[in-house]
Every structure is written in structure tokens, then in C-alpha cells.
Amino acid sequence: MIEKSLYENYQIDFSETLTPKNGDYLFVFNENRELYLDSNNELAINLDDFEVNFTLYIGEYNKKRAFVVNVEGDDEFYDLREVYEIDHDLYHIAGKAVLVNDWYISYRFCGRCGSKTQLDEKDMMLKCPNCGQVHYPRIAPAIIVAIRNGDKLLMAKHSYHDNIRYALIAGFVEPGETIEEAVHREVLEEVGVKVKNLKYERSQSWPFPNSLMLGFTAEYDSGEIKVDGDEILKAKWFKKDEIIRYGSDISISDWLIQEFIDSTD
């Protein structure tokens, strides 16, 4: 998990009218949200060989101008998880860039009336000149929680995880509820137990596709494990030496698991 601030090397800005020049950072994405890297695992240096749908200036990265570029094609493009393993810093800023890319694709036309939207002069927001609807980048808040019972950690087998045997409890925040309510609800829904002593730990931008993950720890309170057999197939308590770690430390889940392991030494 990346722990440094995005803003150590990046300054936010935006423009539809600026165009890329030699030496700019070009975050070139295809329709699959994959990033172009050349044979040296470097960003594109120009757009001569691409069929460009749009470019959008997104600010300064490492004191150079940075652009999101949306193109056609699939050669030499990498999933963001692969980018993380290649270069953590590049993944960090690419995670920002791909979310801007998604937003600009989705809201170039107003979802309420269908009119062409316009980029606001002050905020990163697309506004409709016809009906006045505003369209900000969409971020979906989600919770993830490490639940402990003495020296054991509760983990569940999700039906949608093909390559992970067991993972922490996680889920999206529903309209009208608080973050804390989301934790209690998700835990009760997914594994049938109640928790107490809920503690917020930290957050993580998670561009798969557009989440803000809010990490918590909690203690078991009451109830017996009961799964629905649909979203959650199995759930059980693990001692630290029984936990099978993920293949990557990209996520806040891995950080929470490591914190549990360290606290039980």
C-alpha cells in the first residue's frame, strides 16, 4: 500500500484547451482503463501512433505538465495492478489520472438532458449549459474492516474473488447511512455477527473502479458466523500463522492484515 501523499509530486489543475508538448507526462488510457507503457516501462513521449479520442490537462507532476489521453488500441497497455508492481509512484498518479479519464468520458454529455457539457473555470466539474446540472468526478465510499476476537482475525471467502481464498469484510456505503453504520451493517449482512470498539485506521484511493476505501478495526461482540452462500461462501477465524497473504501489498486490506499480525506478536 502506498502511504505517501499524492501531493508530494503533484499539483492539481485542469484545462480542455491546453495541448501536450514534448516533455509532458502523457497518461494514455484505452477503453479498458489500461495504461500505455513502452518496452522500457515508460509513459508515451508523443501521440503520433495513437488514435486519440481526447486529451485533458490535469496539472503538474514532478514539475512537468501532465495530461490524460484517451485512445483506441490495446497493444502495450497495462492494467493498473500491473503498473503498481512495475512502479509504485507511477501507479499512484495513474490512479488519479484514470479516475479523471472515467469522469470525462461519462459526463461529456449531460445525463439529465443529453446536452454537451462544459468544463467549469474554477472547479473540476462538467456543467450543463442547458439544464444547469453539474457533474463532479464520482467516488464511491466503501468500508473494509479487520475484526479480531482475541488472537484471531475474521476473514471470508467471497464468490467474486477467484484468486484470493479469504479476505476481510468490505462493502459499499449505502445512501443515508454513516460510515460507521455501513461497517456494522456489512458485517452483520455478510457474516452474521456484531462488532464493537470500532476504530477508524486510514483510507486509500482504490481506482477499481472508483472507490475510496475507509479502513477500520473492530472487536467481535456477539453472534455466530452465518454466510449467505451467495456473495459470501465461507467465513472463519484465523490465527496469524494460518493467514494466507495476498500476492501483492497494493491494498489497504494487506496493511490491515499486517497490523493484526504485528499486534499479536
The highest-level CATH class for domain 6-107 is alpha beta
Task: Provide the strand spans (E) within the chain.
Answer: 10-15, 25-29, 35-36, 51-61, 64-72, 77-78, 118-119, 126-127, 134-135, 140-149, 152-158, 169-172, 194-206, 211-222, 232-239
CA dihedral 95, 98, 103, 104 (to 10 degrees): 140
Single-letter residue type at 118: Q
| Rounded Cα–Cα distance for residues 75 and 15 (Å) | 28
Residues pairing with 70 in the sheet: 29, 54
pLDDT at 134: 97
Residue 262 burial (C-beta neighbours within 10 Å; 0-12, 13-18, 19+): exposed
Within the chain, which residue ranges are assigned CATH 3.90.79.20?
Answer: 6-107
**Which residue shows C-alpha cell 501489498?**
249
| Rounded Cα–Cα distance for residues 91 and 226 (Å) | 38
What are the pLDDT digits (tens) for 87-117? 999 999 999 999 999 999 999 999 999 999 9
pLDDT at residue 140 is higher than 80:
yes
**CATH number listed for the domain at residues 140-263:** 3.90.79.10
What are the pLDDT digits (tens) for 148-190? 999 999 999 988 877 668 999 999 999 999 999 999 999 999 9
Within the chain, which residue ranges are assigned CATH 3.90.79.10?
Answer: 140-263
What are the pLDDT digits (tens) for 229-248? 888 999 999 999 999 888 89
pLDDT at residue 198 is higher than 80:
yes
Retrieve residue 65's grid coordinates: 505538465
Strand order in the sheet with 134-135: 118-119, 126-127, 134-135
Q: Structure pTM?
A: 0.92
The arithmetic mean of pLDDT across residues 60-67, rounded, is 97
pLDDT at 246: 81
